[in-house]
Chains A and B, each alone.
Chain A
Amino acid sequence: MSTLTTTRTEPTGARALAKRLSLHLDTLPTAAAVAIFIGMIVYGEAAYGRIVQFNTLSNLLINNAHLIILAVGLTFVILTGGIDLSVGAVIAFSSVAGVMLMNAGWNPWLAVLLMVLIGTAFGAASGVLVQHFHVQPFIATLAMMFLGRGLASILSTVPERLADDSPVRSLGAQIKVYDGPKVNDVVLTPGVIIAAVVVVAAFFVLHRTRMGRTVYAIGGSEQSAALMGLPVAATKMWVYIISGTLSGLAAVVYTARLGSAQNITGIGWELDAIAATVIGGTLLTGGAGFVLGSVVGALVLGLMNVLITRDGGIPPEATTIITGGILLVFVLLQRAVLARRRE
């Protein structure tokens, strides 16, 4: 009700801006994430140099492609007001299983397909637990997390190496797009391209399809969405399936780049992905956020690691503290925005 005004004049200048901002208050946290990202780049360039370079930025994308994919999946779930804690464990199980099957002589591409489908199956299981057995998303996906991690450890507890001549490694192979001076080239991997396609597709689904709008509506009020006649049950199933499937895909991208898989891979990645999503401006309570924000969030986390490595003086253990600090700032920012919106 704060937008009630007593004047009837057309808004001008500052008022018009204020009005535009109040129309798009939801974008504020995401805009802040972009600002922080740019700020970090500028600071890094000034303090350590060699940040605004083709190869540094290319590597940032290559090294974080899997995190971007995970964050996109979590964005769907979190937008509905849910959570998916199983994504890191799914990566472990999916990648160990995939590599072992390839090494056992399976057709590598068939194994890759299976890796993705393992994710789908885990997502579907979470979805059924949440939707049909009314288990809290936190608990349901926590159970899936333990299950995934356990299965991965049953399969193997040592690193499983992907054969050097495995065609799957081509997904992690670097492609020089632009040949700059010395090593300063623009390089991509198929993994990065996959991540980009995932982001674009997710953006389309969320903003241009009825299913996507239902995701937002559920996050706003699940009860209202149901009474509006929206397919709430199906959509909630779908978001977990999407998140699971994308974890499977992230497992493929990560394994292809690293060339090996292990049962302890991906510990804590669910939290990185959640952090990326929240930093990118998605409300943990659901209903507001942007998939592009989550991409920026993932890049903020990646860049932070780069800067800490460059600095050399900051102990790596401090990384988590800094991540926590950034997260806190964003959560506070979101609270402020929520409070304004409620007015």
Chain B
Amino acid sequence: MSESLPIVEMAGISISFPGVKALDEVGLRLFPGEVHTLMGENGAGKSTLIKALTGVYRIDEGEIRISGEPRLLGGTADAQHAGISTVYQEVNLCSNLTIGENVMLGHEVRGAAGINWRATHRAAGETLEKLGLGHLNPKQALATLPLAVQQLVAISRSMVAQCKVLILDEPTSSLDANEVEQLFTVIRSLRDQGVAILFVSHFLDQVYAISDRLTVLRNGRFEGEYRTHELDRAQLISKMIGKDVDALKSLDAKGARRVRSDAAPLYSAKGIGRKGAIEEIDIDLHRGEVVGLAGLLGSGRTELARLIYGADRPDTGEVTMNDEKAEITSPAKALARRIAFSSENRRDEGIIRDLSVRENLILAVQARRGWARPLPRREQDAIVEKYVSALGVRPADPERPIRLLSGGNQQKVLLGRWLATEPDILILDEPTRGIDIGAKAEIQEYVAGLADDGLSVLFISSEIEEVVRQSDRIVVLKDHRKIAELEGGQGVSAESIVNVIAEDGLGDPSADTAVREEVTT
């Protein structure tokens, strides 16, 4: 990595949105053959800086040089022509089209009779192969894929055209360790071919594993640019949050295990299952307990959560709540029984883009009351104030349309929406997706506190470490079935869970690839 000339050089970039100065004289340099990570808390301005570079947002001040020449790009299409491929933070694909089309849109192979679909699908297959998605059928509808795989498809899309600069805004937020490794292999090989890569992630392990250089932003200001090896984690964190790292101690501290009462479980399912989603499973949820769901991508975590919440109807099994038989066949029934579910799919099932932060926050509470009885404004304000400050939503302006918030802050509002229903059982599917480490520690503490107060939590995350930290009991899933149930405690670690998953089904040679195959069939 010689100190060659930067291929992209942004200097003194400022962008203001009504009421916020999102970027204030920020600079960024990208070098060929280097992975450069952009670090900063939620709302620090990372995505805005990326959109400034590709021309999605117009810059108020500053200069962008590409290969030494001052340039202003006018949007993704322009950026692509200049050799810059971008994967934005939210999965931006068209779910009405096929996988192959999404990968190839705008790059379809054309012949004498217009688009040659056979060649286009073949090219799509080859591109998917690079990210280890060769098992996907390009002709399948995109909507049939789980969110994490869609994220991989979006990344594949950025690799269709030869590019000199590749920008990945939180590409790993819903991937598990295997997928991340696969992605990193591709990133490294592109880097070795001389591509400049801009990477954003809130996972420090990933940042240190992949990046050569870091730029830190804080509150829309440039904090500094560093070689990764010059800056250790503690220093990095304090640069990001602008104060000492002590606040984050709780991230690593393993909270004292809560003692489960011997009382009957609050929720108990016997043999619930749904064909094609999850095999028959038993699961109990007690008051004051956090149950974690661990498993690889496609192991059936979300599917199980949806069954419990009634978003999908179970084919088999029965559910008892407080020793009474319960029919939970729709989200409305679940809500009536005080079960809340915060979905992983923020964009399609979660936030309502044009409503304000306040309206998004009170949505579930209002839904439970029924639309005929609007929540008095005073109560709305109380709820909003409570959760905006508890979760640290920034900017703390309840009347701002939620689409104007940064990705991580949208996620906080979504989490707040379900907390506000004050449920007995709270199902959290990837609740900290895209949330910065400071806020993550706060949220973890908050959830733990709720459990201490008697809430029952079902916690799902593709980050196994997080599941281990948060849970009193861990249900391990693989291939759509439960393979183990572990009491949290000193003996359980992310590693031991990975081992449980790896050892399961040894001797059955096809089992190893089963997870991947299932996603396709």
Contact = CB atoms under 8 A, between A and B. Distances in A.
Given A2-B276, A4-B303, A4-B518, A226 B75 contact: yes
16 contacts: A4-B277, A4-B518, A4-B521, A5-B276, A6-B480, A8-B514, A26-B96, A207-B115, A209-B115, A217-B105, A223-B92, A224-B94, A287-B96, A341-B143, A342-B143, A343-B312
Interface in B53-79: 56, 75-77, 79
B94 A3 contact: no
Interface of A: 1-8, 11, 22-23, 25-26, 204, 207-210, 213-214, 216-217, 219-221, 223-231, 287-288, 341-343
Given A4-B276, A4-B277, A224-B93, A230 B143 contact: no
B97 interface: yes
B115 A208 contact: yes
Contact of B88 (A1, A25, A227): A227
Contacts of B480: 4, 6
Given A210-B115, A217-B94, A228 B143 contact: no
Contacts of A217: 94, 97, 105
A1 to B, nearest CB: 6
Contact of B106 (A204, A221, A228): A228
B77 A230 contact: yes
A227 B56 contact: yes
Interface string B25-57: 000000000000000000000000000000010
Contact of B144 (A2, A6, A287): A2
A8 B511 CA distance: 10
Contact of B115 (A4, A213, A220, A230): A213
Nearest to A6: B480
Contacts of B93: 221, 224, 228
Choose among B144, B300, B510 the residue with the greatest number of A CB atoms under 10 Å from its CB: B144
Nearest to B279: A6
B157 A208 contact: no
A213 B94 CA distance: 11
Q: Which 5 A-B pairs have the closest CB atoms?
A: A208-B114, A220-B94, A229-B76, A220-B96, A287-B96
Given A216-B96, A217-B94, A4 B519 contact: yes
Given A8-B521, A209-B115, A226-B76, A3 B105 contact: no
Nearest to A287: B96
A213 B108 contact: yes
B176 to A, nearest CB: 16
Interface string B131-146: 0000000011101111
Interface in B96-119: 96-97, 101, 105-106, 108, 110, 113-115
Contacts of A209: 114-115
Contacts of A223: 92
B139 A23 contact: yes
Contact of B113 (A5, A208, A228, A231): A208
B88 A230 contact: no
Choose among B86, B96, B514, B518 the residue with the greatest number of A CB atoms under 10 Å from its CB: B96
B95 interface: yes
B479 interface: yes
A122 to B, nearest CB: 28
A26 B514 CA distance: 29
B92 A224 contact: yes
Contacts of A207: 114-115
B80 interface: yes
B276 A3 contact: yes
Given A1-B144, A210-B115, 11 more contacts: A4-B480, A4-B521, A5-B521, A7-B521, A23-B139, A214-B106, A216-B94, A216-B97, A217-B94, A223-B92, A228-B94
Q: By DSSP majority rule, is chain B's interface helix, strand, loop, or mixed?
A: loop
Contacts of A227: 56, 76, 86, 88, 92
Contacts of B479: 6
Contact of A341 (B101, B110, B141): B141
A5 B113 CA distance: 38
Given A224-B92, A228-B105, A342-B143, A3 B521 contact: yes
A140 B303 CA distance: 44
A216 B114 CA distance: 16
A209 to B, nearest CB: 5
Contacts of A2: 144, 276-277
B408 interface: no
B298 interface: yes
A208 B517 CA distance: 31
Contacts of A341: 141, 143
A4 B519 CA distance: 6
Interface string B480-521: 100000000000000000000000000000100010011101
A318 to B, nearest CB: 36
B302 interface: yes
A213 B115 CA distance: 10
Contact of A213 (B105, B113, B298): B105
Nearest to A11: B521
Contact of B114 (A204, A229, A230): A204
A77 B92 CA distance: 22
A5 B303 CA distance: 12
Contact of A229 (B75, B300, B514, B521): B75
B92 A221 contact: yes
Contacts of B157: 228
Contacts of A224: 92-94
A49 B312 CA distance: 49
Given A2-B144, A220-B96, A224-B92, A230 B276 contact: no
A25 B140 CA distance: 11
A57 B143 CA distance: 40
Nearest to B147: A1
B140 A23 contact: yes
Contact of A220 (B76, B95, B276): B95
B144 A3 contact: yes
A225 B96 CA distance: 12
Interface in B286-339: 298, 300, 302-303, 312
Contacts of A228: 76, 92-94, 105-106, 157
Choose among A25, A228, A230 the residue with the greatest number of B CB atoms under 10 Å from its CB: A228
Interface in B174-196: none
Contacts of B76: 226-229
Contacts of B115: 207-210, 213
A216 B101 CA distance: 11
B108 A1 contact: no
A2 B141 CA distance: 12
Given A4-B276, A6-B480, A213 B101 contact: yes
A6 B94 CA distance: 27
A214 B96 CA distance: 12
Nearest to A283: B96
Contacts of A208: 113-115
A208 B101 CA distance: 12
Contacts of A204: 114
B112 to A, nearest CB: 10
Contact of A221 (B56, B94, B298, B302): B94
Nearest to B302: A1
B518 A6 contact: yes
Choose among A11, A210, A288 the residue with the greatest number of B CB atoms under 10 Å from its CB: A210
Contacts of B97: 213, 216-217, 220, 287
Interface in B146-198: 146, 157
Nearest to A289: B96
Nearest to B300: A4
A226 B157 CA distance: 14
Contacts of A220: 94-97
